[in-house]
Homo-oligomer: A and B are copies of this chain.
């Protein structure tokens, strides 16, 4: 079910990593946060509690698979998970690898900037993104289907 005018019904919402019958995983094109991923439910659904239990589990297991891939490839200090959707109320999860030297740490990425990001360290992380895409695909393929 598509909702006319919904940004996530009408566009991918990032660089596509994988897509299946229920959801897609994209990498967000945010130069300050290499590896920032989103898991986007395909149907235009508003809240997690609007999904059935099997759908909830499928979506969350995919979010955790992306988290595992980010930890394996990028070794972040912390992974931040969030489903907000105040602006775009189409169910999607932000999966954000965080580093002590990133521009906002330890604030949320939506909070006040703490420092400038180092260009060299960002470049080094960007060089890992091809590997991350492969690892996400592997981890998501291993998700136990409910």
Interface residues of A (CB under 8 A from B): 46-49, 53, 56-57, 60-61, 63-64, 67-68, 71, 77-87, 89, 98, 105-108, 110-111, 144
Contact of A78 among B81, B86, B98, B105 (CB under 8 A): B86
CA A35 to CA B107, docked complex, whole Å: 22
Q: Is chain A's interface secondary structure helix, strand, loop, or mixed overall?
A: mixed
B106 touches A87 (CB 8 A): yes
With most chain B CB atoms within 10 A of its CB, the pick from A53, A78, A86 is A86
Tallying the copies of this chain within the complex gives 2
A108 touches B86 (CB 8 A): yes
Residues on B with C-beta less than 8 A from A61 are 53, 56
**Nearest chain B CB to A95's CB is how many angstroms away?**
10
By beta carbon, the residue of chain B nearest A100 is: B86
Q: Is the CB of A81 within 8 A of B80?
A: no
Give the CA-CA distance A106 to B49 in the complex, in Å.
Answer: 20
In the bound assembly, the distance between CA atoms of A86 and B110 in angstroms comes to 13
Question: CA separation between A98 and B71, bound complex, in Å?
Answer: 31
Given A53-B144, A71-B49, A111-B111: A82 touches B81 (CB 8 Å cut-off) = yes
